[in-house]
Structure 1
Amino acid sequence: MDLDFSEQIAALRSTFNDIRSVIDVDRLRAEIASLNEQATAPDLWDDTEKAQKVTSALSHRQSELARITSIESRLDDLEVLIELAIEGDDQQSADEALVELQGLQKVLGELEVQTLLDGEYDNRPAVITIRAGAGGVDAADFADMLFRMYLRWAEKHKYPVTVMDTSYAEEAGIKSATFEIDAPYAFGTLSVEAGTHRLVRMSPFGAAGKRQTSFAAVEVIPLMEEAATIEIPDNDIRVDVFRSSGPGGQSVNTTDSAVRLTHLPTGTVVSMQNEKSQIQNRAAAMRVLQSRLLILQREQEAATKKELAGTITASWGDQMRSYVLAPYQMVKDLRTDYEVNNPSNVFDGDLDGFIAAGIRWRKSHKD
């Protein structure tokens, strides 16, 4: 029975200490104490918007601290388990120790990736928009597959998701979908998913035996706090109201509660139909519009061509990831060369490997 894990344990301890230093646990505890004080104030819910911000920030930081303390506890327990296995020559404990060692290596690897997220907006919630590109009905179906993929990824991580708008295609799939993932570092994590995604498969909609290539665009922007938003003159915005619709164009609402905002100077369009009232949809749409315009403004001020949300054409020549279902099975990121041979798992939300590789790739290209 070989239980000499001393090198692996030392490596895990070293990685953990580096992460703990970057995250600054003392600062984190101080922030939690301050937010907890605000959250227990008797007049907190007099201002609903402020209350939601405080409770959301508190929840995020408590989750981050709990993750760190849990890992530290697991490392301590692992060392005890190894000692017990050695002393008792216990194969079952040895097997448990190996499984836990591998589990900790995975968790610390994921957390180490998070410490690379040091961009200005990386800690913000993410607003993701998926649009069908070239490829007709196959592209609409592919956009729907990607939509489900990100929802499943969020579900696996227990991240809250709000679907803001869905535009259904006539035959199958979606023309577009916009949704928010409210989790710590959601934007920094998911921003590497922005770009053109390409699907190659035997089309379930076309002639039998023919391979079809289709495209979908993924845009990821950070959702800004109201304090960071910019003023937009009323005469710069066109407001259209319409009825929310379901699959196949069916109406799911008997009132004109859905809202579409068009920013006339830039042509930026935001639609919202998640909320029940027109006022709520307009407020939610305005927040996303302000976030998009703020990113645009910051990029122009910095005189840089690099765009956070990206300019995505969803066609040949600029794809960042390929999903191949025929004649072989493979998903490959064309920037990092990270690939897997199980597309069904990927479409079921198994994206962490691609995201981690993307974050490391981006960091190496920034430095």
Structure 2
Amino acid sequence: MAGPDFETQIKQLQATMHTIEQVLDLDAIRAEIAALGEEVAAPDLWDDQANATRVTGRLSLLQGDLDRFTNLQDRLDDLSVLLELAQEESDADTMKEAEADLRKIHKAVEALEVRTLLSGEYDVRDALITIRSGAGGVDAADFAEMLMRMYTRWSERNKYPVEVFDTSYAEEAGLKSATFAIHAPYAYGTLSVEAGTHRLVRISPFDNQGRRQTSFAAVEVVPLLEQTDEIDIPDEEIRVDVYRSSGPGGQSVNTTDSAVRLTHIPTGTVVSCQNEKSQLQNKASAMIILKAKLLALKKAEERAHLDELRGDVQGSWGDQMRNYVLHPYQLVKDLRTEYETGNPQAVFDGEIDPFLEAGIRWRRGADTPADV
């Protein structure tokens, strides 16, 4: 029977949970929760709305982390009891139930372990994603729309809200570009490994001769800023253009000049928003996107300078990072982690967690300088 091996797996999971507990520093988390709880209880908390939002958000995040760990630890303890009961009574049905629980707990422990690797300054933030079609004509535009659907389906699976800021539709099919936010704790840290160039190989549905087509799309992921983040942009550095929204819409969206395009003159950074009904709302949303991208640009410049100082010669994150092959065989492969699957349809339906976990582990290894 699977008894001895079962016990070994449980012991390994318990050891991993112990390591996670040390990394998370649960005593420090509990102490911070207690301190934040006192701040939340103060009658004048909401006199300063920005601070109140920061305090309540931080409290909710820490409490969620603590509950996630303790609940998983309780499940693992219960599994040990269930296994002992099954062995004492030689109960095959109970053993089968325990095996099913073990698989679920193993997956949950792996996910929690990956979460402990998200320790970057902005990893905890919501993610702001921009997808742009690249080389490949209409197939590239269609591919960009497929990628947007992939990330929104992933969000739906996890019950994460998605907020679409801008969609620029291609003439024949698909998207020229799209910008949207995924609102969830650690969304940026988790999805930042998706940044780079994605490549699709398939028989083109837009080619009447049925030829194979290679197309590309670029994915950009930056952290969504909070109200407490200070990013000052002088008015003279921004050019504001307004225009009529395009694409699917209706009512007032497509009948007034409500869409807004902001250009940051010193860097040439351009963002747009057209999904709100009023010009004022679109301008406010576009400013959120612009600030997030300028912060990401600043961090990238700082990192590039540090890489130059320490002689880092690794390739850029903007390089091609994943292939989606639909013909002549079925394969999705990450070129950095070597993780792959033969089920592209599942990937396009949002089943990307294994790619995300492999990417996070890969990035942690790449970011850790070798001992000299």
Same fold, TM exceeding 0.5?
yes
TM-superposed CA distance for 1:254, in Å, is 3.3
State the Cα distance separating 1:304 from its structure 2 match: 4.1
Which stretch of the first structure deviates more once superposed, 183-192 or 91-100? 183-192
Partner of 2:2: 2
Aligned to 2:109: 108
- Aligned CA distance change for structure 1 residues 149 and 245 (closer, same or farther; 3 Å): same
1:257–1:281 contact (8 Å) kept in structure 2: yes
Match of 2:313 in 1: none
What is the total number of aligned residue pairs between the two structures? 360
Q: Structure 1: give runs of 5+ residues left out of the alignment.
A: 313-317
TM-superposed deviation, 1:41? 5.2
| TM-fit CA distance, 1:182 | 2.0
Report matched runs for 1:202-217 at 5 Å: 202-217=203-218
* Paired amino acid for 2:61: H
Structure 1 residues 362 and 311: alpha-carbon distance in aligned structure 2, compared to 1, 3 A threshold: closer
Secondary structure in 1 aligned to 2:3? coil
With the length of structure 2 as denominator, give the TM-score of the two structures. Answer: 0.89
State the one-letter code of the partner of 1:2: A
CA distance in 2, matches of 1:286, 1:362: 30
The residue aligned with 2:358 is: 357
Amino acid aligned to 1:116: L
Measured in 1, the distance between the counterparts of 2:134 and 2:199 equals: 9
Distance 1:245 1:43 in 2: 46
Q: Is the CA contact 2:253–2:275 (under 8 Å) kept in the aligned structure 1?
A: no
Cα deviation 1:300-336 (Å, max 9, x = unaligned): 3452469xxx774xxxxx4210000111100001111
Tell me which amino acid in the other structure corresponds to 1:269: V
- Per-residue CA deviation, residues 47-69 of structure 1 (Å, 9 max, x unaligned), is 66555544443433333222112
Query: 1:119: how far off?
Result: 1.9
- Relative to structure 1, the CA distance from residue 143 to residue 71 in structure 2 (aligned partners, 3 Å threshold; closer, same or farther) is same
Can you list the C-alpha shifts for 1:224-260, whole angstroms capped at 9, x where unaligned?
3344332111111001122333339997343333221
Normalising to structure 1: TM-score of the pair? 0.90
Give the CA RMSD over aligned residues.
Answer: 2.4
| Separation (CA, whole Å) in 1 of partners of 2:364 and 2:124 | 16
Give the SS at the match of 1:344: helix
Q: Percent identity?
A: 62
Contact conserved, 2:199 with 2:323, CA < 8 A, in 1? yes
Aligned to 1:78: 79
Structure 1 pair 44–260 and aligned structure 2 pair: CA distance change class (3 A): farther
How big is the shift at 1:172? Answer: 1.0
Are the counterparts in 2 of residues 198 and 323 from structure 1 also a CA contact under 8 Å? yes
Q: What runs of 5+ residues in structure 2 fail to find an aligned partner? A: 309-315
Report the secondary structure of 1:228's partner residue. Answer: coil
Structure 1 residues 12, 42: closer, same or farther in 2, change over 3 A?
same
Equivalent residues of 2:273, 2:285 under 8 A apart: yes
Going from structure 1 to structure 2, the CA distance change for 1:311 and 1:98 (only over 3 Å counts) comes to: closer
Once the two structures are overlaid, the 10-residue window that deviates more, 148-157 or 241-250, is 241-250
Query: What amino acid is aligned across from residue 187 of structure 2 in structure 1?
Result: A
Q: Quote how far apart the aligned CAs of 1:37 are.
A: 4.6
